[in-house]
Each structure stands twice: as structure tokens, then as C-alpha cells.
Amino acid sequence: MTTERTLVLVKPDGVTRGLTGQVLARIEAKGYRLAELRLVHPEQELLERHYEEHRGKPFFAPLVEFMRSGPVVAAVVEGDRVIEGFRSLAGTTEPTTAAPGTIRGDLGRDWGGTVQQNIVHGSDSPESAEREIGIWFG
């Protein structure tokens, strides 16, 4: 079974910069389907659960604070191998060095050393995807 669902977030930097439409357009242009879509002002507790795997790391608190700095667009995106496919479309974590052609590589950069401002989130495994979809749409 290759048809999957993933959780995509347009982070506050992406929403504030007016990039939501471009991000969604790239997802649709690649052939994936938007199954759910909402604009959210996430609570601290939701974000701490979302980033559970990073709890205890030095960037955890700044990351959660950044994610609360503005609205987030949350989407459930469907398609064959969409988890891997969206991660590929998003590009690597650091926007400065993410490959051109990717969302992070084309639309992002460092703003005073802030790696967390990388425009989008995408789940990294089927287990993460189901867990994260439950958090944002449960």
C-alpha cells in the first residue's frame, strides 16, 4: 500500500510572508491532494506534543516560541509516497543550504541564524504522520 497521508504545516514565517498559496500550489502541482486544511493559532501544549521528539534539545523552547509567533496553516495531504515526496519538495532543514527547486531552498534563508524559520513542516514517517494528524485534526 503506497497511498499515504502526511501532515504539512505552513509555519508562521511562511504565513506572515504570504507564502501559503505558493506552498499549497507546489503541493497541488506535484499531484498531491489536499484532504484537510485549516488556519490555526496553536497553543503551547499542542506544539510541545507536536515537537515531542525534540523535547530537551537546546532549540526546543525557541522553536515552540517561534511556532506561536503567528498563525499556522495545517493541512493533511494525500498521495502515493507523499511522506517522502513532500519531504523532498520541502528540502533539507536549513533553508540557507536547501537545494534550489525546493520550498525551503527557493523561498527561505537564515534571518539572523534562525534555522527554525524554514517555512514548512512535513511528517517524517507513517507513524509520525498519524500521530501529528491526530494532534492537529483529532
What residues are labeled active site?
A: 121
Rule CB under 6 A: is residue 118 a binding residue for ligand DAT?
Answer: yes
Rule CB under 6 A: is residue 115 a binding residue for ligand DAT?
Answer: yes
Nine-digit cell at 85? 515526496
Single out the residue of 63, 74, 76, 133 in contact with ligand DAT (rule: CB under 6 A).
63
Rule CB under 6 A: is residue 124 a binding residue for ligand DAT?
Answer: yes
Residue found under cell 501532515: 7
Nearest-angstrom CA–CA distance, 133 and 138? 7
Mark 8-37 with x for binding to ligand DAT (rule: CB under 6 A) and - for no binding.
Answer: ------------------------------
Burial of 70 (0-12, 13-18, 19+ CB in 10 A): middle
Nearest to residue 78, comparing CAs of 31, 43, 44? 31
SS3 1: coil
Rule CB under 6 A: is residue 111 a binding residue for ligand DAT?
Answer: no
The residues that touch ligand DAT, with contacts defined as CB under 6 A, are 54, 59, 63, 93, 115-116, 118, 121, 124
The residues that touch Mg ion, with contacts defined as CB under 5 A, are 124
